[in-house]
Structure 1
Amino acid sequence: MKQQLRKVIFILVCGCLASCASPKLAPTKTLAPLPEGEMAIVPDSVTLKETPKLSTYFSDKKLVQLFEIALASNPDIQIAKERIAIANSYLVRSKKVRLPNLDLELSASGTRFGDYTMEGVGNFDTNLSSNINERQIINTNLTPNYFVGLQSAWEADIWGKLKKLSEAARNRYLASREGERLVRATLFTDIAVLYFELIALDKKLTIYEENYALQQKAYEIIAAQRSVGKATELAVQQFQAQSKNLETEISLLKIEVLEVENALNALLGKYTYRIDRGNTLMTVNNEDSKAKEQYVRLLFNRPDVLQHYFELQASQADAKAAKAAFLPRLVLGSRFGYNAFSAETLFLPGSLTYQLLGGLFTPLLNRSQLKLEFNVASKEQEIAFWGYQKSVIQAYTELQTLLGKREIYQKTLALKAQEVGHLKRAVEVANDLYITGYANYMELINTQKNKLTADLDLLHFELDTTLNTIILFKALGGSLETSQ
């Protein structure tokens, strides 16, 4: 007997030693350093207090109001919120797994033991014993078994596997929150772009109407001179054609306004909503005083970068949990309650029973499956790292592009504003010269065309500057907290 026990112990020890030979984790990779120097990869080094704020970055209250409406009714926002709730449920569940479970058990069964089984023979002999009373006689035709009580089981997290799984769930919850921030940022950017495109269309419509008024004024001059023989019919027809062209452009602009308003309604989650808007584009953002290095530091607070960072942390925790799965598991349990083979004796003091147990479980035949799961977790960790690296590269290059475009736009705007001023004066001079006979009607037409083109170009660069400023706010991980 002792020799057999030694063999069992020897087998268990060998199994435990074999299970301890778990695969090695891949070395942790670090981000490639940015051109400005080595940057900390831990986003906790950047706080939300350093990021630009919606209320200070954008002074247009009507735009902020539209965003608040979208937060309440946009379907993508509502979906993102539900995903956060799901991730939070997984997080809570991962914490509960580390605690002992406690179940209330109510069970009843009936068994007919054969005459040639140990239980059947044992029950028959027990009924013949003089040491039992009437309540202890066993029904051998159908032996009942009743139990009412509590049972509990707990896995001791001696290797930290359950802790790592909980850590992975926590990081996925944080990633889901950053995913919701990303949805909010994308939504606000789209709303702001369409909002300022509407303002630009309003301004474009004003430009065409003003140029149409100038065209009409010039036409009146030509028509008057035609009546006294100082101008030809060709000049009159040319100016009429120009007027019709401007009227056509004004009508087409109204179609564009309708399309943009409907697109904006879709983002707001509304079928129809009157878009109340201002009349000013953004030409300078409120964060221009920041140094370039401060901008780069803010990259690590962007929701897309943070989302990949937390996914990387979750994948690393998963890999460590998969490694710990090769090690022995210690499970402790207990059972306490009333157990009897007759209903009338179930709740008697003599039916009270309890059990304490403990077990050490080590994987043997399923090690190949555990290796596959570990390999998958390791590859997921690699994918998560390269996703994080990619997000940082994209964030950095996007920021460099936006900052470079901002400098060029500021110079271009100044030049275009001067050009528009010169051409406005040129139109006035051309009208005077035409009246006095020092300019022909083609020079007058060309001067007005050039002014219209310059006005539209200036508006185009103002809109591009505005859109660049909007995207820069998103690129810096701007805080989208509103009054809600």
Structure 2
Amino acid sequence: MMREILSFCALTALLLTGCTMAPPYSRPEAPIPQDWPSGPAYKDAFSKPDAALAVEVQWRKFFNDHRLQTVIAMALKNNRDLRVAALNVEKARALYRVQRAELFPTLETGISAKKERVKISGTQGMVNLEEYSINLGISSWEIDFFGRIRSLKKRALEEYLASEQGRRSAEILLISEVANAYLTLAADRENLKLARSTLETQQAAYNLIRRRFEVGFAPELDLRQVQTRVDTARVDVARYTELTAQDENALHLLAGSPIPADLLPRELSLVKPLPDVSPGTSSEVLLRRPDILQAEHVLKAANANIGAARAAFFPRISLTSAIGTASGDLSGLFETGSFVWSYAPRIVLPIFDARTRPALEATQVARKIALAQYERSIQIAFRETADALASRGTLGDRMAAQQSLVDATARTYQLSNARYEKGIDIYLNVLDAQRSLYAAQQGLIAIRLAKLVNQVRLYEVLGGGGDASTSPEGL
């Protein structure tokens, strides 16, 4: 009996490490160019060859502003969407462990007692019968000859890894959303400061011209024209007051809890500049993005599921066995001669099942769908990165041109105001110059915000902020 048990254990160990019927997996070719785009829009996009790759830069090193770091940390701790993503990972890991446990037998113990009064043929009267037993055994353990359970285990593992990459992707997206909301709030606060400053300037001009109008030194037209600029500035103050409040609400939601006022940004110009990151010399860097790794794990899971569907065409072998003691009275359970055992293998051979072939075809189609989604993810990632690089390549020129425009309009406003005060120009030219200066200053704030947002975007689309890939060891 011991020899049979040892032989059975050796055979079982061999089966548990055997192959499955899943098709061999190889990573598909990426349906994108090997090199990044080139052209006039990208002339300055690769001007920092010594910059680190985004995937190698942790978010605390990239976002070096202390206030922003604290707000991001709050979001990573309290954001409910990220919490749901983390719980989905825990759920997928538990399901994987359940599926992996199917490979091993389930040991059960049972204690039973039976007493009945029956009539036995050939005897007169009724007889009391008693039976007591204690058993330890295996109940309906499927021996995985054809790799069905191992294929399902592989699928569950890949689904778990996909959920983990999904959590990482959600984490990177949350970090970028918090940074963008923080920078937008800083820009709107700076716009609000500019609008208030413009309102003060226009109010002072209005008061001056009104006094001149009252004594007959200025026409009513000048008074009404400057009044329009005062009212316009008042509208902008109200609008940016509303926008800053909405920006704060959005940031509170992303952080998952109210943010202390001392952590909120004051102005965009006071936010520390962000370091440059390199896209690398090849688009293969995109294969390290969490969302693409997630799509690849989904593809691997679909590939493993084909193995389970193929194994359904072959016999299933299960085993039920038990050892224990049995006796007609309770005191005799552990006496010599009470040992009992049972061994009941069972083979189920499929002859006809109309569902088997369509099930296999469904898994094959599911793999094609997963492959198309994987390739689509790579194409989207390439487009997102190319767009960010195009913006990066042109923002320098836009910034320089806008700064020159601000300087020119500021000088024009000074000259127009001086000419009006000397009585050699009309006030309409002063208003026009002031309006142009105000618009140019707003445009400069917008471009500075666009530059910072582009840096955040490039860091995000290149997979920045993530850790090393999760290993299945220790699950």
**TM-score band, normalised by the shorter chain?**
0.7 to 0.9
CA contact (8 A) 1:262 1:272 kept: no
RMSD: 3.2
CA shift, 1:393, in A, is: 0.9
| Residue of structure 1 equivalent to 2:265 | 277
CA shift, 1:379, in A, is: 2.1
Within the candidate set 394, 416, 420, 2:380 is matched to 394
Within the candidate set 382, 389, 395, 2:368 is matched to 382
Within the candidate set 165, 179, 189, 1:202 is matched to 189
CA contact (8 A) 2:22 2:304 kept: no
| Farther-moved stretch of structure 1 (465-474 vs 411-420) | 465-474
Question: Helix, strand or coil for the counterpart of 1:173?
Answer: helix
Question: Aligned partner of 1:476: which letter?
Answer: L
1:261 lines up with 2:248 in the alignment? yes
Within the candidate set 121, 137, 153, 1:151 is matched to 137
1:36 lines up with 2:34 in the alignment? yes
CA contact (8 A) 1:265 1:273 kept: no
CA contact (8 A) 1:298 1:476 kept: yes
CA shift, 1:48, in A, is: 9.3
Q: With the length of structure 2 as denominator, give the TM-score of the two structures.
A: 0.81
Within the candidate set 152, 162, 172, 1:185 is matched to 172
| Residue of structure 2 equivalent to 1:336 | 323
CA distance, structure 1, for counterparts of residue 427 and residue 54 of structure 2: 61
CA shift, 1:418, in A, is: 0.6
C-alpha spacing 1:374/1:453, structure 2 compared with 1 (3 Å): same
| Residue of structure 1 equivalent to 2:276 | 287
CA distance, structure 1, for counterparts of residue 300 and residue 127 of structure 2: 61
1:449 lines up with 2:435 in the alignment? yes
CA distance, structure 1, for counterparts of residue 22 and residue 456 of structure 2: 47
| Farther-moved stretch of structure 1 (47-56 vs 203-212) | 47-56
Question: Helix, strand or coil for the counterpart of 2:321?
Answer: strand
| Residue of structure 1 equivalent to 2:85 | 80
Question: Aligned partner of 2:333: which letter?
Answer: L
CA shift, 1:302, in A, is: 1.6
C-alpha spacing 1:37/1:329, structure 2 compared with 1 (3 Å): farther
CA distance, structure 1, for counterparts of residue 341 and residue 53 of structure 2: 55
CA distance, structure 2, for counterparts of residue 450 and residue 283 of structure 1: 29
Within the candidate set 207, 212, 215, 2:202 is matched to 215
CA distance, structure 1, for counterparts of residue 77 and residue 208 of structure 2: 56
CA contact (8 A) 1:329 1:362 kept: yes
Question: Aligned partner of 2:389: which letter?
Answer: L
C-alpha spacing 1:272/1:433, structure 2 compared with 1 (3 Å): same
CA distance, structure 1, for counterparts of residue 320 and residue 393 of structure 2: 69
| Residue of structure 1 equivalent to 2:355 | 369
| Residue of structure 1 equivalent to 2:45 | none
| Residue of structure 2 equivalent to 1:68 | 73
Instruction: Report 1:2-151 matches (<5 A).
Output: 30-36=28-34, 50-109=55-114, 141=127, 143-151=129-137
C-alpha spacing 1:479/1:28, structure 2 compared with 1 (3 Å): closer
1:408 lines up with 2:413 in the alignment? no
CA shift, 1:177, in A, is: 0.7
CA shift, 1:51, in A, is: 3.5
CA distance, structure 1, for counterparts of residue 165 and residue 126 of structure 2: 66
| Farther-moved stretch of structure 1 (372-381 vs 418-427) | 372-381
CA contact (8 A) 1:53 1:480 kept: yes
CA distance, structure 2, for counterparts of residue 96 and residue 301 of structure 1: 31
C-alpha spacing 1:440/1:271, structure 2 compared with 1 (3 Å): same
Instruction: Report 1:167-178 matches (<5 A).
Output: 167-178=154-165
CA shift, 1:271, in A, is: 5.6
CA distance, structure 1, for counterparts of residue 28 and residue 416 of structure 2: 66
Question: Helix, strand or coil for the counterpart of 2:337?
Answer: helix
Larger radius of gyration: 1
1:325 lines up with 2:312 in the alignment? yes
Which string of whole-angstrom CA distances, capped at 9 and with x for unpartnered residues, describes residues 264-313 of structure 1? Answer: 2122222675352253367975235x35534x232112221111111111
Which runs of 5 or more structure 1 residues have no equivalent in the other structure?
1-21, 39-46, 129-138
Number of residues paired by the alignment?
430
Q: With the length of structure 1 as denominator, give the TM-score of the two structures.
A: 0.80
Question: Helix, strand or coil for the counterpart of 2:268?
Answer: coil
1:428 lines up with 2:453 in the alignment? no
Which string of whole-angstrom CA distances, capped at 9 and with x for unpartnered residues, describes residues 29-63 of structure 1? Answer: 8345321269xxxxxxxx99844321222222211
CA distance, structure 2, for counterparts of residue 382 and residue 112 of structure 1: 65
CA shift, 1:471, in A, is: 1.9
Q: Percent identity?
A: 24
CA shift, 1:26, in A, is: 10
Within the candidate set 414, 419, 431, 2:405 is matched to 419
CA distance, structure 2, for counterparts of residue 140 and residue 404 of structure 1: 97
C-alpha spacing 1:283/1:399, structure 2 compared with 1 (3 Å): farther
1:240 lines up with 2:245 in the alignment? no
CA distance, structure 1, for counterparts of residue 331 and residue 55 of structure 2: 73
Which runs of 5 or more structure 2 residues have no equivalent in the other structure?
1-19, 37-51, 468-475
C-alpha spacing 1:223/1:37, structure 2 compared with 1 (3 Å): closer
CA shift, 1:445, in A, is: 0.6
C-alpha spacing 1:110/1:322, structure 2 compared with 1 (3 Å): farther
CA contact (8 A) 1:52 1:287 kept: no
| Residue of structure 1 equivalent to 2:459 | 473
Question: Aligned partner of 1:64: which letter?
Answer: Q
